[in-house]
Chains A and B, each alone.
Chain A
Protein backbone atom coordinates (compact mmCIF):
# COMPACT_ATOMS: atom_id res chain seq x y z
CA UNK A 1 0.00 0.00 0.00
CA UNK A 2 1.08 3.54 -0.64
CA UNK A 3 1.01 6.39 1.83
CA UNK A 4 2.15 9.97 2.11
CA UNK A 5 3.10 11.88 5.24
CA UNK A 6 3.26 15.65 5.21
CA UNK A 7 5.10 17.00 8.24
CA UNK A 8 3.51 20.15 9.56
CA UNK A 9 -0.13 20.90 8.92
CA UNK A 10 0.63 24.62 9.13
CA UNK A 11 3.77 26.42 8.01
CA UNK A 12 4.38 30.16 8.25
CA UNK A 13 7.19 31.96 6.49
CA UNK A 14 8.03 35.60 5.96
CA UNK A 15 7.67 37.13 2.53
CA UNK A 16 10.98 36.64 0.71
CA UNK A 17 12.05 33.72 2.89
CA UNK A 18 12.65 30.13 1.83
CA UNK A 19 9.61 27.89 1.62
CA UNK A 20 10.14 24.24 2.60
CA UNK A 21 7.19 21.84 2.73
CA UNK A 22 8.00 18.29 3.70
CA UNK A 23 6.66 15.09 2.17
CA UNK A 24 7.68 11.52 2.87
CA UNK A 25 6.17 8.60 1.03
CA UNK A 26 5.83 4.89 1.33
CA UNK A 27 5.43 2.83 -1.81
CA UNK A 28 5.90 -0.81 -2.69
CA UNK A 29 6.69 0.10 -6.29
CA UNK A 30 8.77 2.90 -7.82
CA UNK A 31 6.66 5.92 -6.98
CA UNK A 32 5.24 8.62 -9.15
CA UNK A 33 4.99 11.71 -6.96
CA UNK A 34 3.03 14.93 -7.29
CA UNK A 35 2.57 18.25 -5.55
CA UNK A 36 -0.74 20.07 -5.89
CA UNK A 37 -1.82 23.48 -4.58
CA UNK A 38 -5.33 24.45 -3.55
CA UNK A 39 -6.47 28.04 -3.17
CA UNK A 40 -9.62 28.82 -1.17
CA UNK A 41 -12.85 27.66 -2.80
CA UNK A 42 -11.01 26.16 -5.72
CA UNK A 43 -9.91 22.77 -6.96
CA UNK A 44 -6.34 21.50 -6.96
CA UNK A 45 -3.71 22.70 -9.38
CA UNK A 46 -0.72 20.58 -10.36
CA UNK A 47 2.55 22.24 -9.31
CA UNK A 48 5.01 19.57 -10.39
CA UNK A 49 5.50 15.85 -10.76
CA UNK A 50 8.23 13.24 -10.60
CA UNK A 51 7.85 10.27 -12.87
CA UNK A 52 11.27 9.00 -13.90
CA UNK A 53 14.64 10.53 -14.79
CA UNK A 54 15.99 13.70 -13.21
CA UNK A 55 15.38 13.75 -9.48
CA UNK A 56 15.18 17.55 -9.24
CA UNK A 57 11.88 18.62 -10.69
CA UNK A 58 10.94 22.20 -11.49
CA UNK A 59 7.34 23.28 -11.47
CA UNK A 60 5.20 26.33 -11.90
CA UNK A 61 5.39 29.54 -9.85
CA UNK A 62 9.07 29.00 -8.98
CA UNK A 63 8.57 25.80 -7.00
CA UNK A 64 10.79 22.76 -7.22
CA UNK A 65 11.09 19.39 -5.48
CA UNK A 66 13.78 16.77 -5.19
CA UNK A 67 13.08 13.05 -5.19
CA UNK A 68 15.37 11.32 -2.70
CA UNK A 69 14.87 7.59 -2.81
CA UNK A 70 17.23 6.89 0.11
CA UNK A 71 15.20 9.22 2.32
CA UNK A 72 11.81 8.37 0.74
CA UNK A 73 11.23 12.11 0.51
CA UNK A 74 9.88 14.59 -2.00
CA UNK A 75 10.11 17.96 -0.29
CA UNK A 76 8.79 21.09 -2.00
CA UNK A 77 10.85 24.29 -1.97
CA UNK A 78 10.76 27.84 -3.25
CA UNK A 79 13.69 30.20 -2.68
CA UNK A 80 11.63 33.32 -2.00
CA UNK A 81 8.06 33.29 -0.74
CA UNK A 82 5.47 35.61 -2.23
CA UNK A 83 2.17 36.63 -0.70
CA UNK A 84 0.36 34.84 -3.53
CA UNK A 85 1.87 31.51 -2.37
CA UNK A 86 -0.49 31.39 0.60
CA UNK A 87 -2.58 28.27 0.00
CA UNK A 88 -2.83 24.60 0.96
CA UNK A 89 -0.34 22.21 -0.55
CA UNK A 90 -0.83 18.49 -1.05
CA UNK A 91 1.72 15.80 -1.79
CA UNK A 92 0.44 12.69 -3.57
CA UNK A 93 1.72 9.32 -4.70
CA UNK A 94 0.47 7.08 -7.47
CA UNK A 95 0.44 3.35 -6.84
CA UNK A 96 0.47 2.42 -10.48
CA UNK A 97 2.70 5.00 -12.05
CA UNK A 98 -0.21 6.74 -13.66
CA UNK A 99 -3.10 8.93 -12.75
CA UNK A 100 -5.12 6.23 -11.09
CA UNK A 101 -6.01 6.27 -7.41
CA UNK A 102 -3.73 8.98 -6.15
CA UNK A 103 -3.09 8.80 -2.42
CA UNK A 104 -2.87 12.30 -0.99
CA UNK A 105 -1.21 13.57 2.14
CA UNK A 106 -3.21 15.52 4.67
CA UNK A 107 -2.02 18.84 3.36
CA UNK A 108 0.08 21.75 4.62
CA UNK A 109 -1.43 25.18 4.92
CA UNK A 110 1.18 27.81 4.03
CA UNK A 111 0.83 31.29 5.50
CA UNK A 112 3.01 34.14 4.28
CA UNK A 113 3.87 36.83 6.82
CA UNK A 114 4.25 40.30 5.28
Chain B
Protein backbone atom coordinates (compact mmCIF):
# COMPACT_ATOMS: atom_id res chain seq x y z
CA UNK B 1 0.00 0.00 0.00
CA UNK B 2 1.12 3.56 -0.58
CA UNK B 3 3.06 5.27 2.19
CA UNK B 4 2.88 8.84 3.41
CA UNK B 5 3.40 11.16 0.47
CA UNK B 6 4.82 14.63 0.89
CA UNK B 7 5.05 17.20 -1.86
CA UNK B 8 7.16 18.85 -2.97
CA UNK B 9 10.39 17.12 -1.92
CA UNK B 10 12.51 20.21 -2.27
CA UNK B 11 11.64 23.88 -2.15
CA UNK B 12 13.62 27.09 -2.27
CA UNK B 13 11.95 30.28 -1.12
CA UNK B 14 12.98 33.84 -0.43
CA UNK B 15 12.73 35.53 2.96
CA UNK B 16 9.32 37.11 3.46
CA UNK B 17 7.51 34.74 1.12
CA UNK B 18 5.03 32.12 2.24
CA UNK B 19 4.99 28.42 1.51
CA UNK B 20 2.48 25.57 1.59
CA UNK B 21 3.53 21.96 2.07
CA UNK B 22 1.28 19.01 1.39
CA UNK B 23 0.93 15.60 2.99
CA UNK B 24 -1.20 12.65 1.97
CA UNK B 25 -1.40 10.05 4.75
CA UNK B 26 -1.73 6.32 4.40
CA UNK B 27 -5.24 5.36 3.43
CA UNK B 28 -7.34 4.93 6.57
CA UNK B 29 -5.04 6.99 8.79
CA UNK B 30 -6.97 9.92 10.19
CA UNK B 31 -4.23 11.35 12.40
CA UNK B 32 -1.58 13.51 10.76
CA UNK B 33 1.29 15.18 12.58
CA UNK B 34 3.99 17.55 11.41
CA UNK B 35 7.56 17.85 12.68
CA UNK B 36 10.39 20.21 11.86
CA UNK B 37 13.92 18.79 11.74
CA UNK B 38 16.98 21.03 11.86
CA UNK B 39 20.61 20.31 12.73
CA UNK B 40 20.48 22.72 15.64
CA UNK B 41 17.10 22.00 17.22
CA UNK B 42 16.58 18.40 16.12
CA UNK B 43 13.06 17.09 15.70
CA UNK B 44 10.36 19.39 17.02
CA UNK B 45 6.63 18.84 17.03
CA UNK B 46 4.60 21.36 15.07
CA UNK B 47 0.98 20.19 15.25
CA UNK B 48 -1.34 17.21 15.01
CA UNK B 49 -4.67 16.89 13.27
CA UNK B 50 -7.38 14.29 13.63
CA UNK B 51 -10.58 14.33 11.61
CA UNK B 52 -10.00 17.91 10.46
CA UNK B 53 -9.44 19.19 14.02
CA UNK B 54 -6.15 20.38 15.45
CA UNK B 55 -5.62 18.35 18.61
CA UNK B 56 -2.17 19.48 19.63
CA UNK B 57 0.17 22.29 18.81
CA UNK B 58 3.86 22.74 19.50
CA UNK B 59 5.74 25.85 20.51
CA UNK B 60 6.01 27.57 17.17
CA UNK B 61 4.99 31.12 16.25
CA UNK B 62 1.68 31.86 14.61
CA UNK B 63 3.39 32.05 11.22
CA UNK B 64 3.15 28.27 11.22
CA UNK B 65 -0.31 26.94 10.56
CA UNK B 66 -1.93 23.86 9.20
CA UNK B 67 -5.17 22.24 8.26
CA UNK B 68 -6.61 18.88 7.44
CA UNK B 69 -9.21 18.08 4.83
CA UNK B 70 -12.08 15.62 4.94
CA UNK B 71 -10.00 13.06 3.05
CA UNK B 72 -7.33 13.34 5.81
CA UNK B 73 -4.85 15.07 3.53
CA UNK B 74 -3.06 17.85 5.37
CA UNK B 75 -1.27 21.04 4.50
CA UNK B 76 0.98 23.24 6.52
CA UNK B 77 1.67 26.86 5.75
CA UNK B 78 4.50 29.10 6.82
CA UNK B 79 4.07 32.80 6.22
CA UNK B 80 6.70 35.53 6.21
CA UNK B 81 9.54 33.06 5.87
CA UNK B 82 12.73 33.58 7.85
CA UNK B 83 16.16 32.09 7.23
CA UNK B 84 15.71 29.99 10.37
CA UNK B 85 12.73 28.23 8.84
CA UNK B 86 15.08 26.29 6.59
CA UNK B 87 14.53 22.70 7.63
CA UNK B 88 13.26 19.28 6.73
CA UNK B 89 9.52 19.20 7.38
CA UNK B 90 8.22 15.74 8.11
CA UNK B 91 4.65 14.59 8.03
CA UNK B 92 3.56 11.44 9.84
CA UNK B 93 0.31 9.56 9.95
CA UNK B 94 -1.06 6.96 12.31
CA UNK B 95 -4.04 4.69 12.64
CA UNK B 96 -6.41 5.38 15.51
CA UNK B 97 -5.77 3.03 18.40
CA UNK B 98 -2.22 2.16 17.39
CA UNK B 99 1.10 3.57 18.51
CA UNK B 100 3.90 4.77 16.30
CA UNK B 101 3.91 6.89 13.20
CA UNK B 102 4.61 6.23 9.58
CA UNK B 103 6.65 9.14 8.32
CA UNK B 104 6.89 10.58 4.85
CA UNK B 105 10.23 11.38 3.23
CA UNK B 106 9.84 15.04 4.06
CA UNK B 107 9.99 18.36 2.28
CA UNK B 108 13.32 20.11 2.46
CA UNK B 109 12.71 23.84 2.60
CA UNK B 110 15.55 26.24 2.00
CA UNK B 111 14.97 29.94 2.69
CA UNK B 112 17.42 32.32 1.04
- Chain A positions within 8 Å of B, measured between CB atoms, are 32, 34, 36, 41-46, 49, 51, 90, 92, 94, 98-107
Interface string of B90-104 (1 = CB under 8 A from A): 101010001111111
Question: Are B90 and A43 closer than 8 Å at their CB atoms?
Answer: yes
Give the residues in chain B near A105, CB-CB below 8 Å.
42
Cβ-defined contact, B103 with A43, below 8 A = yes
Complex A-B: 24 CB contacts under 8 Å: A34-B100, A42-B105, A42-B106, A43-B4, A43-B92, A43-B103, A43-B104, A43-B105, A46-B100, A46-B101, A49-B99, A51-B99, A92-B43, A98-B99, A99-B94, A99-B99, A100-B55, A101-B56, A102-B33, A102-B101, A103-B45, A104-B35, A106-B42, A107-B42
Asked if B75 lies at the interface with its beta carbon under 8 angstroms from chain A, I say no
